[in-house]
Amino acid sequence: MNAALHSNAVARYLLPQDVCLDLEVAGKRQLFHAIGQHMHREHGLSPDEVVLSLSRREQAGSTGLGEGVAIPHARVIGLDRIYAFYARLKSPIPFDAPDGKEVSDVLVLLVPKPATKEHLAILADALQVLSDRHLRKRLHRSASPRDVIEVFSDAKVPENV
């Protein structure tokens, strides 16, 4: 029995200006600061609130999934919508992933506080997409933010039952 497929929710929120290819950071802390600065520059979000929210969530447990992927996500006070940010790191960084591998693919999700069902749906879709080895290879070959958006747009995920 085949499950019905739908377009993944990540593609609805990831904008070309929120894709950063070959981001150079030395570790999680520097990554979170780079994300905070980016979200401030592009969307007027408080960089301190973004960094604090991501850091607090990470302290509760690593968002490193394994296979070189992390999905840092956090509820941020004052947001009026969900924001997504994708970074392909120039050099992998330690992320306390279950398989011990360093991370080079980072998909960040910032959601309003309190979170809604959409937060869980986009997180589930992100997990599905980034767990697919073929899609990760396409992301690694992507030469532009538009290519990255296309990978997420093409990815179909099973309907939540």
In a domain, 60, yes or no: yes
* Residue range(s) defining the domain that contains residue 23: 17-151
- Rounded to 10°, the helix 145-154/133-141 angle is 160
Say if 161 falls within a structural domain.
no
Residue 140 C-alpha from the chain's centroid? 15
For residue 1, tell me if it sits in a domain: no
Q: Is residue 62 part of a domain?
A: yes
Alpha-carbon span 12 to 109, nearest angstrom: 12
Tell me the torsion sign for CA atoms 38, 39, 44, 48. Answer: negative
Q: What is the pLDDT of residue 38?
A: 98
In single-letter form, the type of residue at position 68 comes to G
pLDDT at 1: 40
The whole-number mean pLDDT for each consecutive block of 10 residues of the chain, a chain of 161 residues, reads 62 94 96 98 96 95 94 91 96 95 96 79 87 91 94 76 40
Structural domain contains residue 39: yes
HEC per residue, 75-92: EECCCCCCEEEEEEEEEE
Number of other CB atoms surrounding residue 110 within 10 Å: 26
Residue 136 sits in a domain whose CATH number is 3.40.930.10
What's the total number of domains in the chain?
1
- Within-domain flag for 2: no
| Phi and psi based region of residue 94 (left: phi greater than 0; alpha: psi -120 to 50; beta: remaining) | beta
**Residue 12 domain flag:** no
Q: Would residue 28 count as lying in a domain? A: yes
* Residue the block writes with tokens 């940010």: 85
